[in-house]
Amino acid sequence: MLISGKEIMQHAYENGYAIPAFNFANMENLQAIIQGAEEMNSPVIIQTSQGAIDYAGAEYLADIGLGAAHRANIPVVLHLDHGQKYEYCLKAIRLGWTSVMIDASQDTFSENVSKVKEIVKVARPLDIYVEAEIGIIGGKEDDLVSDKEIYTEVKDAVNFQRETMCDSLAIAVGTAHGVYKGEVKIDFTRIKEIRALLPVPLVLHGSSGVPLDMVTKAVHSGITKVNFDTELKLANLDALQRFLKENPGVYDIRKMFKPCRLAMKEVVKAKIAACMSTDKSWIIS
């Protein structure tokens, strides 16, 4: 069933596990996430970037995302990931997304604050959950490219949340969007310090390529939502390449994408286990 962000995030925040969030851009991608979460009996966040909306169309993604959520036997949140433009956030809200991220983290502190406040003003009366970001997470996510990385300062996180009243906060603690070039290093102490002072859930972006035990350690340190995208794309690519190599001449898209869906589902299940959200779908019953 479709659910508001607040319900599942609050439960996870209070009970020391995290809600896994996976990006989707097409049907197989979405089915892999929902099926994986159903098999693990876990609540899940399905999320679309602005790039996915440009690719598939907001109305179309709303149709399949909301349809999948309504049919699922687990709690599902439809979330806008890295909404950089006001219009995308408003459109998502109008079409039925139950959670939006307004990402003005590349702007100055005060510009970031004022953009987030604008969205909170619209979203709060409609019961739409609002995620914001402070600090800069490096790497590449769709059209969002950042070659610099600025770790979130504890005092900035506290002041930022106090001023914006955002519902959750993405922080920069060492992860990066996309494929890692070197060894992953996460500042767990910083997560703990921010968590101790902040009254809202923290979000970890760029979690593909982070070893599963480090994901779990981040959750134990105080992370409540973990975002995964690239690893699903890589699993899809790997399965497709293998299929095409082993089955020359096959052109049936159903045959071609079945192993891709399966491969993505296995990634989803492993990430859910690392977030410790297995068997937490009872929270809506």
The single-letter code of the amino acid at 169 is L
Please, which residue, 88 or 228, has the CB nearer to ligand 13P?
Answer: 228
In this structure, what token pair is assigned to residue 159? 């002041």
The single-letter code of the amino acid at 134 is I
Q: Which stretch binds ligand 13P (CB under 6 A): 63-71, 107-115, 187-195, 206-214?
A: 206-214
Residue nearest to ligand 13P (CB): 208
168: contact with ligand 13P by CB under 6 A: no
Helix (H, G, I), strand (E, B) or coil at 177: strand
Tell me which of 229, 236, 259, 272 binds ligand 13P, using CB under 6 A: 229
What positions carry a catalytic annotation? 81
Please, which residue, 6 or 225, has the CB nearer to ligand 13P?
Answer: 225
Helix (H, G, I), strand (E, B) or coil at 83: strand
Question: Which H or E run contains 132?
Answer: strand 129-134
Q: Which stretch binds ligand 13P (CB under 6 A): 91-99, 203-211, 254-262, 268-276?
A: 203-211
Site string for ligand 13P, 244-263 (x = CB under 6 A): --------------------
- The answer to whether 74 touches 44, Cβ cutoff 8 Å, is yes
- Among positions 208-227, residues that touch ligand 13P (CB under 6 A) are 208, 227
For residues 272 and 30, what is the distance between their CA atoms, to the nearest angstrom? Answer: 15
Helix and strand element counts for the chain (H, E): 11, 11
User: Whole-number minimum distance, CB 99 to ligand 13P, in Å?
Assistant: 13
Strand partners, 132: 102, 169
177: contact with ligand 13P by CB under 6 A: yes
Tell me which of 63, 138, 178, 273 binds ligand 13P, using CB under 6 A: 178
- Among positions 82-141, residues that touch ligand 13P (CB under 6 A) are 82, 141
The single-letter code of the amino acid at 149 is E
User: Whole-number minimum distance, CB 105 to ligand 13P, in Å?
Assistant: 12
The sheet with strand 144-146 has its strands ordered as 144-146, 138-141, 176-177
Please, which residue, 138 or 163, has the CB nearer to ligand 13P?
Answer: 138
What letter does residue 151 receive in the DSSP assignment?
A: P
206: contact with ligand 13P by CB under 6 A: yes
Helix (H, G, I), strand (E, B) or coil at 25: coil
Please, which residue, 141 or 187, has the CB nearer to ligand 13P?
Answer: 141
In this structure, what token pair is assigned to residue 182? 């070197």
Please, which residue, 1 or 179, has the CB nearer to ligand 13P?
Answer: 179
Helix (H, G, I), strand (E, B) or coil at 226: strand
Residue numbers at the binding site for ligand 13P (CB under 6 A): 23, 81-82, 141, 177-178, 205-208, 227-231
